[in-house]
Structure 1
């Protein structure tokens, strides 16, 4: 796809489950849509999701995205590979700037997602660990798969505490390992973890290593062996394009939206993990459907959309 100087109805930034769902809806509303994809959707990292409806046996993240791209293409959607480095207003329109050009649109949907903070380990080992299920990032998605296994959570403070408590429903063998030095937990949190039988281990963690059927965590108290590690190290919210336009965000960077996925900037919408929500594929798709419908209706109040 070559970027066009023509005015589009909608610019979608991001081609993960939210962005592609919105593209399908919007193109079927007979709106002109430009989709810009940086090529790093978190969904592509999922070896196999087993809680996405309609896929008995599960589906790889890459396959799901490929199927959604194919479906979008049936309605004329084209996807441009690139990164929107800057988003600006030009009157009532928006201008997205890329290395190889600009794209203009009457409205923008941000479906840029988040980036997980990774534990210390080599990139190739991290990729292998994901493929083998030795590292997992979403207990809601795949906690079922670690039922009665040896589970390690790398994290501390409230985030690490909550993840360890959540995973305890699946396994009696849960260990919370501090990523750096000692744990930063409240007295009540320590007491509750103790009541649940969650083991606390101080860090720092050396770079993680893989064994034949397990993942290894080296700590000052010794080498720990787990069937699966869940990093609870937070994430980076990709909301900077909206914030640069003055959009309101939460303390952690998630965009504040109304019930129709509108941000606090007129004409700017958000769906998926970049907005405050459940961080689930199905939820992101639902938000995208809501956003696409709101975009269509809002555009209709600005101009005649009758064919």
Structure 2
């Protein structure tokens, strides 16, 4: 039986693996290979890398560090989780492994605009498509920016980006905008243009990302989809953990879920979706796990 099984190998899962391995605990890390951080072409927002670092390079460095101290990573998807009398049982295909504790660091999946995968990936790599204005709003300073979204969520994303550029257009993804009077006033006060959808016909044209709208073809230096995301909390919910209406796991200030011994860190838990925040949560969770396990059985050399 492992001391802890970590599900998810993004910044949160890998940080926890480093901590727990250095606590001389037996841990196992499961990685299904779909960390959202791996999609980041280059982040300039992560402290310690003044020239920026790609998400893949950051994850590779973190994994190397975790493995240096004995963490074991397995490329596999966890399909089931349940509490037992001695901890937890984790299902991977036909196998079921046991652990005294579990840390869920499965993150979220962004809802993408309606475009082919190859175009999406190229636009993302070239900075024509972006998902996080907190991370990279600085890079669109004084550029022409489109936001695909509507309602309160779309309005808030457009207003946030207005802090970086005066040229922001909010485009409804499907048909006419769904905006109440207060949203419309806030957009008007900020000088943000509104265009109805549907959005289609995406293409890279002369170093811009262009698309068809109800008002004709438009092109932008960068486009931000504000279409929400799917929180990958189903394993914990399946085991009985409480979650918010949107699927974020409820945790306390030590990253404990409502199930004793089950922890969550990173974007799967309610909070700021940032690498630095995920890493901080993972450090708190890992230390709490260590102290919990020591309370059950002394950890001594």
- Give the TM interval when normalised to the shorter protein: over 0.9
Name the structure 2 match of 1:102: 96
With normalisation by structure 1, the TM-score equals: 0.97
Aligned pair partner of 1:254 in 221, 224, 248: 248
Supply the distance in 1 between the matched residues of 2:218 and 2:121 (Cα, whole angstroms). Answer: 20
Q: Return the offset for 1:271.
A: 0.3
The aligned counterpart of 1:4 is: none
Partner of 1:139: 133
SS of residue in 2 equivalent to 1:87: strand
Corresponding residue of 2:188: 194
Which of residues 173, 180, 190 is equivalent to 1:179? 173
Whole-Å separation in 1 of the counterparts to 2:65 and 2:227: 35
1:146-295 matched pairs, under 5 angstroms: 146-295=140-289
Q: Confirm or deny that 1:21 pairs with 2:15.
A: yes
Query: Quick one: structure 1 residues 207 and 250, their matched pair in 2 at CA, closer, same or farther if it must change by over 3 Å?
Result: farther
CA RMSD of aligned residues (A): 0.8
Q: Deviations over 1:187-224 (max 9, x none)?
A: 01101101111000011111422113000120121001
Task: State the SS of the aligned residue for 1:293.
Answer: helix
Asked if 1:8 corresponds to 2:14, the answer is: no
2:79 aligns with 85
User: For 1:93 and 1:175, how far apart are their aligned partners in 2?
Assistant: 51
Q: Which runs of 5+ in 2 are unaligned?
A: none
User: How many residues matched?
Assistant: 301
Shift of 1:300: 1.2
Structure 2 residue matching 1:70: 3-state secondary structure: helix
CA distance in 2, matches of 1:100, 1:227: 48
Matches within 5 A, 1:27-38: 27-38=21-32
